[in-house]
Amino acid sequence: MTQRVSLLFGVHAHQPVGNFREVLDEAHRRCYRPFLQILERFPAFHFSLHISGWLFDDLLARYPEDIALLRAMVKRGQVELFCAGYTEPVLAAIPVRDRIGQVNLMSARFEQVFGQRPSGAWLTERVWDSGVAPSLVACGVRYVTVDDYHFLCAGKREDDLRGYFSTEEDGRRLDIFPISEALRYRLPFSPAAEAVRYLESLAGDGEGRAAVYFDDIEKFGIWPETYDWVYTRGWLEEFVQRVLDSPVVHPMRYSDYHAATPTRGVVYLPTTSYIEMNEWTLPAEASSIYAGLVEEARNTGRYDVGKPFLRGGIWRNFLSRYPESNWMHKRMLALSARLSAVPDARRTPDMRDALYEAQANDAYWHGLFGGLYLPHLRRAVYSALVRLEGLLDGVSRRSEFESCDLDFDGHREHFIQNGTLQAVVCTDGRADVRELDHYGLRHNFADTLARQREHYHHKVALNQESGHNGSGIANPHERVSFKHVIRPEDLVVDAFRRSLFLDRLVLGAEARDLRYGAEPVPGAGPSLQFEADSPPGLAKRIALSGNILTVTYQFAQLPPGDLEVELNLAMPSCDGPAGRFEEEGEILGGFGQTLERPFTTPLVLRDDVLGGAVRLSANRPGYVTSAPCFSVSQSEAGFEKIMQAVTLRLRWPCETLVSPLAVTLTIGS
């Protein structure tokens, strides 16, 4: 019989909601446009493509000629489109109603522009949870792609994975294709001839054998070294030509293969993602143990046999690893529930769009890419959340004071709001402001990230770059490189979450965090008042009035030492040139610089990206210092330092506070 293998070649194009304009344009120039232009010249090379909705809208608006090119390729039967959630959410992490809404919106958009409603779906980060299957089936999806690792974890042998399998949930069938990890690591990093020889080695008798590939298109031009390799040195064109010249490799769309080939049987997959994700989602200590077990298995030659049973964690562990991620997620869930309760006649597309933008996956997790560590991605989520909350408040007015344990951490959070500002104060004893929203600016000024130990920090300590020793170019999963110089002091771990109005008593070199009673007294205004456990008689009042947040401290008995108040302000410009300190009209420096000076007149933090400013003032003279807060994370470009916040420390000798101290933040455009 004829030896052959069907190449099911799929690529996934995505940019995070809120990504920088220059990044989108560079991605188009270095990847999206040249990729389509080359493949358009080879009509016989059939492939599949997914573009996330937010990116698709951007490309359609700015580069309509490329979408027209893609439309022609779809029309002639060369390209099959895959759907997903419109803003690329992890479907398992959002409510069923939103899963269906997001997928249907994406499918309808493709049908409108291309005349083709997708039958296949791309699963964000290949996160599989059987609970998503009924939602996908309800949207008309017939098949999805996940990693072959998922199948190995279910006990399948690698040689079995040359086609697709079927699963069901609640009696609804969904077919699943196993993406080859071996192909993911070869394309496009191995020489084209070597990659095609590997494909040919997968050929067998009959029509049913398939080589399944579906991965990020950004590997073809955006990842380090890839633009020169893929386009300048001609890897992509050579690969396509060699595939078409091969007597045994036949490129097909998933839809054609699915229609012509029967399922290989039923399978039930565990909840998991790709193998690298399962390491990233573990806390640092557990991740180190996991990495040690993997290394031991490699050294003893048992890794290929044992890797399905070295599971690591699941995607949702990111929500327990990072309190900041969990908080965003639970805010999103609460607003989704609130939106679902709005009568249909009063819902608007703006509400839906804001919710879906808040569900974009990128800012909720961190692995090889910055994700959660990138302030502009978190800012996009909060911008959408605050926008949606403002729209919902216009339909159904909320109370000035609400209280609940929103994030399930065992402590109630108190929400006070006046339609212009909202402050969220936790009852864990710190009486700090965890979220400070301005509805007009659509910004959370408390959106900072605590520095914690990451599983890859031990590589930073080695301070040795490494790459790829074989032929081809390096896969970023194998690379250790440095975008910035990282010093030991950059890896200091925070003992607590960074927020606004963290209070300490300082006596010489010793600083003691002030602790307050868990339950405040709500007041008019809206406001909250906390009583300190120690020193006795200290009261802290947090109040909103218009666009002003005022925090007042009153001592019944003055303790020795200084009162220090820490503010971690999330300013969009961070260490960019558009963010600066001003005092009485004089520019003192940028947010990325240090500042030390008497605090006798208001200090203004002006931010051109935000389109607004924060005016910090107090009714008592004191002293202020400011320094940028950096975290260390990894990205495809190497280890990097990212400014998370402007950390201001205000200090007053307690002996001068014989009457109440009032610190105010005035926020305006």
User: Which residues are identified as catalytic?
Assistant: 125, 216
* Integer Cα distance of 39 and 36 in angstroms: 5
Residue 499, CA distances (Å) to 386, 447, 530 in order: 18, 8, 17
Q: Minimal CA–CA distance to 48: which of 23, 85, 26, 73?
A: 73
Q: Minimal CA–CA distance to 637: which of 350, 330, 254, 374?
A: 374
C-beta of residue 208 within 8 angstroms of C-beta of residue 4: no
Whose structure tokens read 């974890």?
153
What single-letter DSSP state applies at residue 31?
Answer: I
C-beta of residue 243 within 8 angstroms of C-beta of residue 44: no
Sign, CA torsion 20/23/25/27: negative
Give the pairing of strands 210-216 and 3-13.
Answer: parallel
* Integer Cα distance of 389 and 351 in angstroms: 9
> 512-537 burial, b for 16+ CB within 10 Å, e for fewer?
eebebeeebeeeebbbbbbbbeebee
- In degrees, to the nearest 5, what angle opens at C-alpha 397 toward C-alphas 394 and 399? 145
What's the farthest any 2 CA atoms get from each other in the chain?
A: 95
The alpha carbon of 394 is separated from its chain's Cα centroid by a whole number of angstroms, namely 29
Determine the residue type at 578: A
Coil, helix or strand at residue 378: helix
What the block records as the tokens of 324 is: 């900041």
Residue 628, CA distances (Å) to 30, 337, 454, 642 in order: 33, 37, 20, 10
* Region for 501 from its dihedrals, namely left if φ exceeds 0, alpha if ψ lies in -120 to 50, beta otherwise: left
C-beta of residue 88 within 8 angstroms of C-beta of residue 276: no
DSSP for 212-232 reads EEEEEGGGTTTSTTHHIIIII
First and final C-alpha spacing in the chain = 73
The alpha carbon of 635 is separated from its chain's Cα centroid by a whole number of angstroms, namely 13
Q: Where are the alpha helices (DSSP H) in 234-316?
A: 235-245, 254-260, 275-280, 284-299, 303-306
